[in-house]
Structure 1
Amino acid sequence: MEFLLASAIGTLTAAGVYMTLRARTFPVIIGLALLSYAVNLFLFAMGRLVVDKPPIIHPLATTYTDPLPQALVLTAIVISFGMTALIVVLALRSFLETGSDNVAMREMNEGANIESRGGEASR
């Protein structure tokens, strides 16, 4: 079971890094989401969750589960949802401004715009 979980975390991380390094904005967004899923699984795995045990220390309980990993993952899910929404809005705005979602083309267009402005200003 541990090998399966470690393989899933590694696969999500590898796919997330690969997608993040793409030249288009949509695969970058998907890659960041995959990386956040990998981090959430990693936090759960490191938390050593115990089944059917209370998360609060009680005098009658002999063992308990640590609530910190659950709280961290819940917080990470909320933050990643907000950041994904922000990135999607920024990517949409960028696509509407430039007409392309290709990152390399956008950089080339910005460089051409700077050169054309510099050439006109020096005359």
Structure 2
Amino acid sequence: MTVYLVPLVIIGALTSCGVYLLLSRNLTRMLLGLLLVGNAINLLILTVGGESGNPPIRGRTSGAETTTADPLAQGMILTAIVIAMGIAAFVLALTYRSFRLTTQEEVDTDPEDARVSKFADDEASFIDEDAPQHIPDRDTDEPDELDALPGHEGSR
């Protein structure tokens, strides 16, 4: 089996550029990064799919090829292209909606997420590692307050 270096370099470049764009705060750049990573994966599937050969149709030949091409890789890539188009349309719709609501394309840090993160950090600093931690008892088959809706005790 011959390994071609050019497709592998292209796959690496597409993946690295796509990840770089995905890490930005701009929604359009995120979409472009998602599409680049998807194209890199398609190229990877095509590269791993093996060498070219005769069409995978009984009785058909092309040139002096002795082997038959693997149709699975081609089918997977066609499916991935359709899925990528659907995801791109969805992300474009989200971007448009976000732009219409906030008139900006940058994704800001959610204040509630920042508050919860700060609260979790403060709470983690007060935990005493030497104190015995409470381990909840195992769940039993006995009914407790969360097992049924109020007023439906007889429905078991």
Give me the TM-score of the superposition, normalised by structure 2: 0.62
Alpha-carbon shift at residue 101 of structure 1 (Å)? 1.2
Given residue 103 of structure 1, which amino acid in structure 2 is its aligned partner? V
The answer to which structure, 1 or 2, has the higher relative contact order (CA under 8 A, 6+ apart) is 1
CA–CA distance in 1 between the matches of 2:21 and 2:44?
19
Per-residue CA deviation, residues 31-71 of structure 1 (Å, 9 max, x unaligned), is 000001000000000101314x121355x995211100000
CA–CA distance in 2 between the matches of 1:33 and 1:87?
11
Question: Aligned pair count?
Answer: 108
More helix by share: 1
Partner of 1:94: 98
Does the residue aligned with 2:105 lie in a helix, a strand or coil? coil
Asked if residue 83 in structure 1 is aligned to residue 83 in structure 2, the reply is no
Which of these residues, 11, 18, 25, is aligned with residue 27 of structure 2? 25
The percent of aligned pairs where both chains have the same amino acid is: 36
Alpha-carbon shift at residue 95 of structure 1 (Å)? 1.1
CA–CA distance in 2 between the matches of 1:29 and 1:55?
35
CA–CA distance in 2 between the matches of 1:101 and 1:5?
34
Partner of 1:73: 77
Stretches of 4+ aligned residues off by more than 4 angstroms: none
> Which ranges of structure 2 fall in alignment gaps of 5 or more residues?
116-156
Partner of 2:38: 36
| Preserved CA contact (<8 Å) 1:12 1:38 | yes
Greater C-alpha radius of gyration = 2
CA–CA distance in 1 between the matches of 2:57 and 2:42?
22
Does the residue aligned with 1:104 lie in a helix, a strand or coil? coil
Does the residue aligned with 2:28 lie in a helix, a strand or coil? helix
Asked if residue 54 in structure 1 is aligned to residue 55 in structure 2, the reply is yes
Per-residue CA deviation, residues 55-103 of structure 1 (Å, 9 max, x unaligned), is 1355x99521110000000000011011101100111101111121111
- Pair 1:49–1:74, CA change in 2 (3 A): farther
Given residue 63 of structure 1, which amino acid in structure 2 is its aligned partner? T
Partner of 1:121: none
Does the residue aligned with 2:108 lie in a helix, a strand or coil? helix
